[in-house]
Structure 1
Amino acid sequence: MYFEVLGSTDPSAQTVVLSSGLGGSANFWKPQLSELTQLYRVVVYDQLGTGRSPAVLPDQYRISNMADELLELLDHAGIQTCHVVGHALGGLVAMEMALKQPERLTSMVLINAWSSPNPHTLRCFNIRKAILASCEKRVFLQMQALILYPPDWIAENIEALEAEEAHLLEYFPEESNLLKRIAALSEFDIESQLSDIAIDALIVANKDDLLVPWQRSMILDEGLSSSTLKILDYGGHASTVTATDAFNSLLMAHLAQY
Structure 2
Amino acid sequence: MSRRKVGIAGAIVGTASAGLAAGALAKRYAVGRIRLRPDLESSEPFGELRGRQVTVKTSDGVELHAEVDGPEDAPLTIVFCHGYTLNLDSWHYQRRDLRDTYRMVFWDQRCHGRSTRTPAEDCTIDRLGFDLAEILKTLVPGPCVLVGHSMGGMTVMALADSHPELFGEKIRGVALIATSAGRLAEITLGLPALISKAVHWATPPAMSVLGRRAALIDRGRQAGTDLSFLALRYLGFGDPSTISPTVVDFAESMIRSTPTDVIADFYPALMSHDKLSALDVLNKVPTSVVVGEKDWLTPVEHSRAIATGLPSARLTVIPGASHLVLLEKPAEVGEAVTELLAAVAAADAEPAAVLEAPGPDTAGTQAQDDSKAGDVL
TM-score range, shorter chain: 0.7 to 0.9
Distance 1:147 1:246 in 2: 20
Tell me the amino acid that sits aligned with residue 287 of structure 2: A
Number of corresponding residues: 254
1:22 corresponds to: 84
Distance 1:179 1:59 in 2: 12
Give 1:14 shift: 0.2
Distance 1:193 1:160 in 2: 34
The answer to whether 1:3 aligns with 2:49 is no
- Relative distance call for 1:141 and 1:76 in structure 2 (3 A) is farther
Tell me the amino acid that sits aligned with residue 116 of structure 1: G
Distance 2:339 2:147 in 1: 13
Question: Do the aligned partners of 1:116 and 1:191 also contact (CA within 8 Å) in 2?
Answer: yes
Q: 2:262 aligns with which of 152, 177, 186?
A: 177
Question: Do the aligned partners of 1:3 and 1:44 also contact (CA within 8 Å) in 2?
Answer: yes
Question: Do the aligned partners of 1:121 and 1:212 also contact (CA within 8 Å) in 2?
Answer: no
Given the two structures, how large is their TM-score scaled by the length of structure 1? 0.86
Question: Do the aligned partners of 1:147 and 1:211 also contact (CA within 8 Å) in 2?
Answer: no
Q: State how 1:84-95 maps to structure 2 within 5 Å.
A: 84-95=146-157
1:212 corresponds to: 298
Task: Determine helix, strand or coil for the equivalent of 2:279.
Answer: helix
Task: Determine helix, strand or coil for the equivalent of 1:235.
Answer: coil
The answer to whether 1:194 aligns with 2:283 is no
Larger gyration radius, structure 1 or structure 2: 2
2:118 corresponds to: 56
| 1:222-251 Cα distance to aligned partner (Å, 9 max, x none) | 112531111111221111111111111121
Q: 1:152 aligns with which of 240, 250, 262?
A: 240
1:120 corresponds to: 187
Task: Determine helix, strand or coil for the equivalent of 2:100.
Answer: helix
- Relative distance call for 1:97 and 1:166 in structure 2 (3 A) is closer
1:238 corresponds to: 324
Does 25-34 or 112-121 show the bigger shift? Answer: 112-121
Q: 2:175 aligns with which of 105, 109, 118?
A: 109
Distance 1:162 1:26 in 2: 16
Distance 1:231 1:163 in 2: 24
Q: State how 1:76-91 maps to structure 2 within 5 Å.
A: 76-91=138-153
- Percent identity, aligned pairs only, is 22
Answer 1 or 2: higher relative contact order, Cα 8 Å, separation at least 6: 1
- Relative distance call for 1:207 and 1:54 in structure 2 (3 A) is same
Distance 1:113 1:167 in 2: 19
Give 1:143 shift: 4.0
Tell me the amino acid that sits aligned with residue 66 of structure 2: F
Query: Where does structure 1 lack aligned partners over 5 or more consecutive residues?
Result: none
Question: Do the aligned partners of 1:91 and 1:113 also contact (CA within 8 Å) in 2?
Answer: yes
Does 87-96 or 144-153 show the bigger shift? Answer: 144-153
Distance 1:192 1:235 in 2: 28
- Relative distance call for 1:156 and 1:202 in structure 2 (3 A) is closer
Q: 2:333 aligns with which of 227, 241, 247?
A: 247
Task: Determine helix, strand or coil for the equivalent of 2:121.
Answer: coil
Distance 2:161 2:103 in 1: 24
Query: Where does structure 2 lack aligned partners over 5 or more consecutive residues?
Result: 1-63, 190-195, 346-377
Distance 2:141 2:250 in 1: 35
Distance 1:6 1:29 in 2: 12
Q: State how 1:65-80 maps to structure 2 within 5 Å.
A: 65-80=127-142
Tell me the amino acid that sits aligned with residue 107 of structure 1: G
Give 1:177 shift: 2.1
Given the two structures, how large is their TM-score scaled by the length of structure 2? 0.60
Q: 1:40 aligns with which of 84, 102, 105?
A: 102
